Chain A
Amino acid sequence: MKKSLIGLSAVIAMLSLSACGNSGNDASNAANSSSNSSSNTSASSESNANTSSNTTTNNTTSTNASNGDAEPVTISFMHFKSDVTDGIQKIVDQFEAENPNIKVDVQPVKYDDYYTILKTKLAGGDVVDVFTLNAGSQAKLFVDGGYVEDLTGQEFLSSFDTDVLTSQATDGKNYIMPLNAGPIAVFYNKNIFKELNLEVPRTFDAMIEDAKKIKEAGKTPFALGWKDAWTLGMWIGRDLPSNTALVANQPDFFDKLETGGSKFADNPAVKTTLDHAQQIFDLGNKDQLGLGYNDIVDLFAKGDVGMMYMGTWPLADIQKKNPDLYNTGIGYFPYPFSNDETLNKLEFNPDASLAVGSKSQHKEAAMKFLAFMASKEGGDAWVKNTNTLSYVKGATTDIAPALNDLKPYFDNGQLYNSQAYMSKTTIDWTTQLIQSLQKMFFKKDTPDQVVTALDDWVSKNHK
């Protein structure tokens, strides 16, 4: 299922690439509008039937009646949560059941291709009514392009904490609605830890010690699917800012990078991260750069792997593949990026947020969709169907047994968000660092060369 989806999205990517010319877009627009109008006409005849039936049984359905006067519309909803495609569809089904006049055309896209496809679509003149965005530089790019509707002052935003709203604001305004959040931490196999008498590590060195013992026992210490750029990028994109801001005490390093005021060479945390990367790489599964996310979730689910750095996304998959492990065998601990226990809090990041397209023809329906996602009911549906947490106040947090391990951190407020340190930079340094790191893993570059390469790249590409 997942593989075919990936393939499909790749095909879509290529199609949309080849349709870059104006003529292609015009043709696809024409096709879209014609299919829309045809679906509208068929739907309107349906709604006529609806209203007539409403008049007879008006007293039973109040919500239907209130929506009954609205034109039936179809809104498009593009999201990057393709690993929980079925779950999202269930939430949408629930929305459609409550709003019979609104149909949602869901378009899931694999995260790696998501922004490419979204950019191509929007720049090519296609209209997407609702789409997911990541708060920060990605959201800013689209806001600056004028593709995102301003949501400031909308009633449904009151479902979120003001702190959250402020942290996700772009230039002081709320263009995106916070939706999804989750911890990113280390899954560990409790059976292996028990067997080898290992304790849950609280510092980086302790984690490496545990990993070495796991390796001596003939098992794989870390599952690394670093063929997919995002898995490696997710890790360095957190280890580096955490060490930069909290250990090296340069919280404004990435802000300054944007203006040319700082250099990787002057940041001692870079060396720390490179050292961490090499240690983890050496203790990883074999074929670290040949396996991807799906492969390592398989590996971990089989139960031969000690630890896996990941968000909560694979939980549903693991539950399907190995229910026993899911129920009793998995623990979850905050990733110890340093050797100072007090610094190693739980990484808790915003993930998908929702945006409404500024060129949308059906803004009212789109806002209704957002309002549903912001309601307690929508929040609960989100948590239940995607196995990740919601920012909606009062939404349930019961997603998996493994998450109970993190309860003390939630209760004591020991959370932090390393991504906030990078919110003001648009420089895509992770891609460059990934390349250099891969050279370092195979002893083609020394750590010093990696640092030099990074600074050279930044100065060359961002004058």
Chain B
Amino acid sequence: MSNLKRSIRSEMWYVLFILPGLCLFVFAVVVPLVIGAKYSFTNWDGVAPTAKYIGWDNYTQALSDSDLWAALRNTFKYAILVTVLVNLVSLLLAVLLDSYLKFRKVFRTVFFMPVAISTVLAAYIWSYNYSNGLPKLLSYFGVDMTSPLGNPDHAMMALIVISIWQGVGSPMIIYIAGLQGIPGELTESARIDGAGAFGAFRHITLPLLAPSVTINLLLVLTGSLKVFDLVFLTTGGGPAFSTQVISTFIYNVSFNSAKAGYGTALSMLFFLILVIVTIVQLAIFRRREVDL
């Protein structure tokens, strides 16, 4: 008993340290979530001081809303492509910048720099690049280019390029850290046993890098599922719904169409989707890590 008391007393310090973070989390996440859940059962227009309770109507409407499904398709298309491409590119860069390359510190800084730029800035830089910079440059080579952001067929790819440019920095750092944690003698002995550069990478480096892969896939996927700022600033979901992701769709429903009740119901559904995706992903990758 006294043992328990002592351990509580000594652990109290740690609790004290999480308190600020916990408060922030409760007031910025939990409280709005609960209030939002309440509003999702009303027909609130976002302005009126009162709202009428309408039960599950918002949720049944959402399930038959073809726009919601289109937005979800766009979201997952964006998120999956970004996750795969960002991880491929950042892994490649990490391997390259972990080797004995001249100026590798300079290169690391250069590739990390876009992370430090705010998305607002990145969105304007790229909107300008797409509509003015690149077309002007290409016109010297006789190529006629229009901004891909203005074409429903290419807008999504154009967005993905921006997210890769901005997104490779952090995963790259995690991969480099992971690579540096791998003992050199393992690769060396594999080489002696006759493995080529690719073989060593495939059978030694990659399995040992698995924890970094897990965390990177998880972070990039959940991050890109929630993308809002980039889409809102570059295309606003257009043209022709081609880049309308779930978060911009919720924003438009809530504010532009003045249907805040329906919008919060959509956010609740989206919250559920995010939870499911995260649980599934964690389950899959944790198991694979153990197997390896």
A289 adjacent to chain B (CB < 8 Å): yes
B256 and A431 contacting across the interface, CB-CB below 8 Å: yes
A115 adjacent to chain B (CB < 8 Å): yes
Closest CB of chain B to A215's CB: distance in Å?
16
Return the CB mask of B236-248 against A: 1 if under 8 Å, else 0. Answer: 1011110000000
B27 adjacent to chain A (CB < 8 Å): yes
Interface centre among B61, B150, B153 (most CB of A within 10 A): B150
Cα–Cα distance between A32 and B235 once the two chains are bound (Å): 34
Closest CB of chain A to B245's CB: distance in Å?
14
- A residues 158-207 in Cβ contact with B at 8 Å: none
- Select from chain A the residue with minimum beta-carbon distance to B235: A227
List of A residues within 8 angstroms of B112 by Cβ? none
List of B residues within 8 angstroms of A250 by Cβ? none
Stretch binding the partner chain, chosen from B43-51, B72-80, B196-204: B43-51
B27 and A289 contacting across the interface, CB-CB below 8 Å: no
Closest CB of chain B to A162's CB: distance in Å?
29
- State whether A229 and B238 are in contact (beta carbons under 8 Å apart), knowing that A21-B35, A141-B258 are contacts in the complex: yes
- A residues 2-33 in Cβ contact with B at 8 Å: 3, 7, 10-11, 14, 17-18, 20-24
Q: Tell me which of A22, A142, A428 contacts B35 (CB under 8 A).
A: A22
Cα–Cα distance between A264 and B233 once the two chains are bound (Å): 31
Cα–Cα distance between A428 and B153 once the two chains are bound (Å): 26
B45 and A141 contacting across the interface, CB-CB below 8 Å: yes
Cα–Cα distance between A315 and B166 once the two chains are bound (Å): 37
Q: Tell me which of B65, B130, B240, B257 contacts A290 (CB under 8 A).
A: B130
- State whether A290 and B146 are in contact (beta carbons under 8 Å apart), knowing that A147-B47, A435-B241, A442-B240 are contacts in the complex: yes
Cα–Cα distance between A408 and B238 once the two chains are bound (Å): 40
B48 and A287 contacting across the interface, CB-CB below 8 Å: no
List of A residues within 8 angstroms of B133 by Cβ? none
- Select from chain B the residue with minimum beta-carbon distance to A456: B66
B152 and A442 contacting across the interface, CB-CB below 8 Å: yes
A229 and B49 contacting across the interface, CB-CB below 8 Å: no
A428 and B257 contacting across the interface, CB-CB below 8 Å: yes
Total interface residues on A, CB under 8 Å, equals 45
Cα–Cα distance between A18 and B32 once the two chains are bound (Å): 10
A368 adjacent to chain B (CB < 8 Å): no
B281 adjacent to chain A (CB < 8 Å): no
A23 and B27 contacting across the interface, CB-CB below 8 Å: yes
Q: Tell me which of B28, B239, B255 contacts A116 (CB under 8 A).
A: B255
Cα–Cα distance between A389 and B259 once the two chains are bound (Å): 34
A145 adjacent to chain B (CB < 8 Å): yes
Closest CB of chain B to A317's CB: distance in Å?
18
B47 and A287 contacting across the interface, CB-CB below 8 Å: no
B69 adjacent to chain A (CB < 8 Å): no
List of B residues within 8 angstroms of A406 by Cβ? none
B45 and A23 contacting across the interface, CB-CB below 8 Å: no
Return the CB mask of B12-35 against A: 1 if under 8 Å, else 0. Answer: 000000000000000110011001
Cα–Cα distance between A441 and B238 once the two chains are bound (Å): 13
Q: Tell me which of B135, B149, B233 contacts A10 (CB under 8 A).
A: B233
Cα–Cα distance between A285 and B101 once the two chains are bound (Å): 47
A93 adjacent to chain B (CB < 8 Å): no
Cα–Cα distance between A461 and B252 once the two chains are bound (Å): 14
- State whether A426 and B47 are in contact (beta carbons under 8 Å apart), knowing that A431-B252, A444-B240 are contacts in the complex: no
- State whether A290 and B28 are in contact (beta carbons under 8 Å apart), knowing that A229-B236, A229-B238, A439-B240 are contacts in the complex: no
Closest CB of chain B to A431's CB: distance in Å?
6
B47 and A460 contacting across the interface, CB-CB below 8 Å: no
A-B contact pairs, 19 of them (CB 8 A): A10-B120, A10-B232, A11-B120, A18-B28, A21-B35, A119-B47, A141-B47, A287-B131, A287-B146, A426-B258, A435-B238, A435-B240, A438-B238, A438-B241, A442-B239, A460-B61, A460-B64, A461-B257, A461-B259
A residues neighboring B (CB under 8 Å):
3, 7, 10-11, 14, 17-18, 20-24, 115-116, 119, 122-123, 141-142, 144-147, 227, 229, 286-291, 295, 426, 428, 431, 434-436, 438-439, 441-442, 444, 460-461
Top 5 A-B pairs, shortest CB-CB distance: A290-B150, A290-B147, A289-B150, A438-B240, A23-B27
Not counting A289-B238, A431-B252, A435-B241, a sample of 6 additional A-B residue pairs whose C-beta atoms are within 8 angstroms of each other reads: A7-B120, A10-B233, A24-B27, A144-B48, A287-B135, A295-B131
